[in-house]
Amino acid sequence: MSAAAGGGIAKHVPVNQVLREYLLASTTPPDPAVRALIAATDGLGEVAGMMVPAEQLALLTLLTRIAGARTVIDIGTLTGLSALAFARGLPPGGRVITCDNSDRWLDLARAHWQGAGVADRIDFRLGPAARTLRAMAGEPAVDLVFVDADKLNYPTYYDLAVPLLRPGGLLVLDNVLLDGFVTAPELAGESLQRRCAAVLREVNAAVAADDRLEAVMLPIADGLTIARKR
């Protein structure tokens, strides 16, 4: 978007490691259970690159509380960090339905959910996320859907998630900047990354133009869109 269309000049502070540490130090610290799961995930090596970063975890818990969410769908469980962040923000009786097409890290996730005292609020569903979402079509409306799985299927997750939300419910999409390549997918080095960036670009445009939603994209970590269903 041009400066004229956006109203004024771009105001942005690039976040380097020092500034990120300052951001984290200026955010309510993660509780011991979240810290322990972050450390355990870090210890897994390369897979840790996929985990939701701490500043986003704090935001997910806050959004859950602000929205008064009782039912959350978490698409992409990995080691269970986002599920734990949502569970932390739920009132008693609330639930997180978290899904993944792999249960490789489920024991690790469950051990930490139990340690945090929230395992009874988290319902893990194994299988393709689209199948899990389709199976929820007849269930009571959902308060928040978080999309953080395979990027090529974001259009499907977006299509399936919006009808599941109650009015006032939130659709939260992660990695919407795709390492910055959304503005020029052709510049991404790898073919999969180029395809993902092109898909994210289409989803971002669709969300912004969707009359059912009011959306804001935040440049936090790899970009997070928060959209409220009207």
Ligand X SMILES: C[S@@+](CC[C@H](N)C(=O)[O-])C[C@H]1O[C@@H](n2cnc3c(N)ncnc32)[C@H](O)[C@@H]1O
- Site map (CB under 6 A) of ligand X, residues 81-100, x = contact: xx----------------xx
Q: Does 78 bind ligand X (CB under 6 A)?
A: yes
Q: Identify which of residues 51 and 227 has a Cβ nearer to ligand X in the complex.
A: 51
Contact between 53 and ligand X per CB under 6 A: no
CB of 223 to ligand X, least distance (A): 13
CA distances from 87 to 72, 109, 112, 185, 212 (A): 9, 13, 12, 35, 27
Residue 44 CB, shortest distance to ligand X, in Å, is 11
> What does the alpha-carbon distance between residue 20 and residue 33 come to, in Å, rounded to a whole number?
21
Q: Using the minimum distance from each CB to ligand X, give the nearer residue, 2 or 133.
A: 133
User: Is 210 one of the binding residues for ligand X (CB under 6 A)?
Assistant: no
Which structure tokens are listed for 182?
Answer: 């959304």
Closest C-alpha among 152, 130, 144, 150 to residue 202? 152
Of the ranges 18-26, 147-155, 192-200, 216-224, which one interacts with ligand X (CB under 6 A)?
Answer: 147-155
What distance in Å separates the CA atoms of residue 168 and residue 98, rounded to the nearest whole number?
21
Choosing from 90, 133, 148, 165, the residue that interacts with ligand X (CB under 6 A) is 148
Minimum distance from CB of 3 to ligand X (Å)?
33
Site membership for ligand X, residue 129 (CB under 6 A): yes
* Pick 71 or 98: Cβ nearer ligand X: 98
Residue 169: partners with Cβ closer than 8 Å, 6 or more residues away: 67, 69, 141, 142, 143, 144, 145, 228, 229
Q: In the structure encoding, which two tokens stand for residue 43, read together?
A: 């210890």
Quote the CA–CA distance of 206 and 190 in Å, as a whole number: 25
Q: Which residue ranges make up the site for ligand X (CB under 6 A)? A: 50-52, 76-78, 81-82, 99-102, 128-129, 148-150, 153
